[in-house]
Amino acid sequence: MKPSTSVLAIRPSSTTIATAPAIRPFLCARQYATQNSLGTTAQPGPRRRKVTAFNDDGRVPWNQLSAGEKTARATQQSFNFGLVIVGIVLTGGVTYFLWSDVFSPDGKTAQFNRAVDKIREDARCLEILGRGKKISAHGDETFNSWRRARPVSSMNRQDPDGTEHLLMHFYVQGPKDNGTVRLHMFKRPDMSEFEYKYLFLDVKGHERIYLEKQDESKVKGKKQLSFFGIKW
């Protein structure tokens, strides 16, 4: 027998042929992705709105403001400061008014209430006006029928020597009749509270009733001398 010789033919593997072309797109894609990631620059953030005197909320730091924006912030802060000052002044004015006219013992409201109480407790007034609890007091007549809305006429003035004067008139009405009340009070610099110069009630058809009347001799004290029209 003759030995048989066979030649093995080596064929290229299909996997090798198929793999070579597949590597190229992968490498290209990887290379493209790497270049793209390295070549791009960061996108700028959103631009802030311009600061004005109307939309400034203080969030933007002072060193980041332009000259015009700094002027707008200064204008807004000056306006707000002005509003605070006006509010303080108005609050102080209202507080002073409430104290001097309502809550102060020497205020107009307090003197008005004391005068009304004197009338309600005076037997002569009760005889003409009627029962004390039924007597009401109010100011000048207005279009408003609500008596509490009728303002009481009063005046404060001060003499050159520092004496303060309070003049007031109002109206009282009782079950029997009605009348007008007038008072004049004064307080010299050496006095701690007001005193009556007069307080009287006028009712039509009746004699004037004085509830308080100043004794002129006690007030003046020593009689002043007069020489050539000059008082000494």
What are the DSSP calls for 191-208, one per residue? -SS-EEEEEEEE-TTS--
93 and 110 together in one domain: no
Q: Is the pTM here over 0.75, yes or no?
A: no
Phi-psi region of 58 (alpha: psi -120 to 50; beta: other; left: phi over 0): left
Residue 35 lies in a domain: no
Longest dimension (CA), the chain: 185
Domain endpoint, select from 74, 101, 128: 101
Q: Hey, is 226 helix, strand or coil?
A: strand
Domain endpoint, select from 101, 126, 158: 101
Other CB atoms within 10 A of residue 114 CB: 15
pLDDT in the model for residue 34: 45
Residue 50 lies in a domain: no
Phi-psi region of 221 (alpha: psi -120 to 50; beta: other; left: phi over 0): left
Residue 5 lies in a domain: no
85 and 164 together in one domain: no
pLDDT in the model for residue 227: 40
pLDDT in the model for residue 216: 64
80-97: average pLDDT: 80
Residue 201 has pLDDT above 90, yes or no: yes
18-39: average pLDDT: 48
Mean pLDDT of the chain: 75
What tens digit of pLDDT does each residue of 137-182 get? Answer: 988 766 555 555 567 888 889 999 999 999 999 999 999 999 999 9
110 and 163 together in one domain: yes
Residue 61 has pLDDT above 80, yes or no: yes
What tens digit of pLDDT does each residue of 33-49 get? Answer: 444 444 555 555 567 77
85 and 111 together in one domain: no
211 and 178 together in one domain: yes
Tokens of 131: 């029962």
Least confident of 17-26, 88-97, 128-137, 165-174: 17-26
82 and 121 together in one domain: no
111 and 147 together in one domain: yes
pLDDT in the model for residue 142: 60
97 and 145 together in one domain: no
pLDDT confidence tier of residue 121, bands split at 50, 70 and 90? very high
Residue 44 lies in a domain: no
132 and 213 together in one domain: yes
Residue 223 has pLDDT above 50, yes or no: no
* CATH number of residue 148's parent domain: 3.10.450.320
137 and 192 together in one domain: yes
Residue 172 lies in a domain: yes
Domain of 86, in residue numbers? 65-101
Give counts: helices (H), strands (E), the chain: 5, 8
Domain endpoint, select from 42, 75, 101: 101
118 and 176 together in one domain: yes
pLDDT in the model for residue 26: 46
Residue 187 lies in a domain: yes
Query: For the chain, what is the domain count?
Result: 2
139 and 204 together in one domain: yes
